[in-house]
Structure 1
């Protein structure tokens, strides 16, 4: 047979040999490399989650309290953010603005200042812009004590977009609330989840102990409106990176490692199948 083939001017064996794009060698190499990278990055994310500070303390509404936490700071140069978290949180606008007409609620002039007296259900309280939802926020006075000093910085807590552009919270809203407008803007940003996390401020920690002092935390300045969150709340210290906080980094790390393990399982299946079946023989049968 070989002599007959060599006498031919053209035959399959004289063509250049090449691997198809889906050859098992390529597939196994690609998925093995991908699995290695995913597992490495997953381990990095989990390590980052361990180096980011996360402390959560639970308190009750209308309770003045002090709480001291000890913590090891792995990234002392990174700021520590303070949040409050509310459970059973809902912002059902209709239940809070039913006394107002929709022309006022949906005004297109965000810079409009409410100069005319607009009364709420109790007929005594003047209504600020952005609906009654901005008046159901908790009123708080919180200090973060490090080395005997209050180090909490409550500036620039609103979204960067809201700070730089007056789209939703215009000059009228800012004039009405004054220096506290960012607190109300944060509250007026709706949450789609039953657990809402809102920023309070940030601080730098220079020691290994931090004390939170809650002077006041109540349900807001309109007692006639029903509270739209549970009577327990949490205060959180947290450091963040590009991915997020400690929980986000840990979750992403676990997901990444699981994907890497699935890639390894696929590689094992491919290697087993290829070793069992083998490539198609290139020899001629007699």
Structure 2
């Protein structure tokens, strides 16, 4: 068929495979056209544009004039901004993207040698300072009970609690002791750090609350009631019940310079250990067993739980061998002079194979006498110096150029 003027020729279809024509199957052709129109409208609706003219289709498919398009576009831009704002992608900054500048030294033999020598010198200097401070502490101690006690103090030893055996401890300083001089008692092999022992106390009761309900006193288990009278212990618990009750008295020539005040922590005295309201006028001895009843020679009825020796004992030690402050001497103790301390021995240590000492000591800015810390610093510092010197000798005798490719092995 020849093409008409101005109309492109149509490609001929083979016989038997002709396309649907309007004249042949009008109903099928109309269905295809309608389906194509619906597809175009659906795509236009998704794009928000209608081909019928200038305008947009709303969310419900309603026609909107062209002047409404900028408002719709602004709303779309707002949604995009919100989506960008809620993104979890970190900002493109040096900090978030880990592009900050950093200095990464190359550990050359020279740097390593210098570093070891500097660290070693610093540790030796610090260790020397610590050792000097500890060496300046003057200390004297005497064991007066337990295994290994000298025969001079065999008469002080006891085998039962509250034996009230009196003896005299003689201490002779090897050097002058400048004030303040501190008096300690030392216990060995007494595990105040045992978990059950540490937990056996009622802080509410120690702060002055009167407790009679067994549920409120459960923290004191396994010792809530007095084993002898059956009354409630005030205060209760293993720590309070095992109070160190030896009585250490000052030498006759130091009575005016002897102080047992301010030996406990200020926070403990002011907030953690308080007597009940109205104490001691309203004590209930029919229900409770008080400290002044168990330790009448150490704790007075007026003091109660505010007694400083009791407060010091209640602050448990971290190690099985420990010292606790008993008194303070405010005058000088001369070297070579023997000072006699009267002691009433009540706290027995045989049941746990312990030992008891009376210790008189001065202090430094570092605390008491402790040579271990200074020696440890000196040893570590000396080791670093030796390693630094060895590295330097090794580098000078058989060193090699950094980055030398001849040491690379390409055949593996």
TM-score by length of 1: 0.71
Q: How far did residue 124 of structure 1 move?
A: 6.0
> Which whole-Å CA distance do the structure 2 matches of 1:281 and 1:213 have between them?
72
The answer to whether the 8 A contact 2:110-2:392 is kept is no
> Which whole-Å CA distance do the structure 1 matches of 2:141 and 2:171 have between them?
12
The answer to whether the 8 A contact 1:84-1:199 is kept is yes
Matched, 1:38 2:164: no
The answer to whether the 8 A contact 1:57-1:236 is kept is yes
Matched, 1:49 2:177: no
| Structure 1 counterpart of 2:345 | 217
The answer to whether the 8 A contact 1:44-1:253 is kept is yes
Unmatched 5+ residue regions in structure 1?
Answer: 1-18, 221-225
| Structure 2 counterpart of 1:261 | 382
Bigger strand share: 1
Q: How far did residue 122 of structure 1 move?
A: 0.9
Deviations 1:200-226 (A, max 9, x none): 021134241351412413128xxxxx9
Deviations 1:153-200 (A, max 9, x none): 11111234313432xx33449976607622112222223432232110
TM-score by length of 2: 0.51
Unmatched 5+ residue regions in structure 2?
Answer: 1-103, 146-156, 158-164, 213-223, 281-289, 292-302, 407-412
The answer to whether the 8 A contact 2:207-2:275 is kept is yes
Deviations 1:265-285 (A, max 9, x none): 2102210221123351799x9
Work out which of the two has the higher radius of gyration on C-alpha atoms and give 1 or 2.
Answer: 2
1:272 to 393, 398, 412: 393
| Structure 2 counterpart of 1:71 | 174
| Structure 1 counterpart of 2:112 | 27
1:122 to 228, 247, 250: 228
Residues 32-181 of structure 1 aligned to structure 2 (within 5 Å): 32-60=117-145, 61=157, 62-73=165-176, 76=178, 78-91=179-192, 106=202, 108=204, 110-114=206-210, 119-123=225-229, 127-145=233-251, 147=253, 149-166=255-272, 169-172=273-276, 178=303, 181=307
More off after superposition, 203-212 vs 53-62:
203-212
SS where residue 319 of structure 2 aligns? coil
The answer to whether the 8 A contact 1:57-1:234 is kept is yes
> Which whole-Å CA distance do the structure 1 matches of 2:203 and 2:316 have between them?
18
The answer to whether the 8 A contact 2:249-2:342 is kept is yes
| Structure 2 counterpart of 1:204 | 330
> Which whole-Å CA distance do the structure 2 matches of 1:275 and 1:95 have between them?
61
The answer to whether the 8 A contact 1:46-1:254 is kept is yes
Q: How far did residue 230 of structure 1 move?
A: 4.6
> Which whole-Å CA distance do the structure 1 matches of 2:168 and 2:204 have between them?
43
- Judged with a 3 Å threshold, the aligned counterparts in structure 2 of structure 1 residues 184 and 228 are, in CA distance, closer, same or farther, namely farther
2:363 to 222, 240, 250: 240
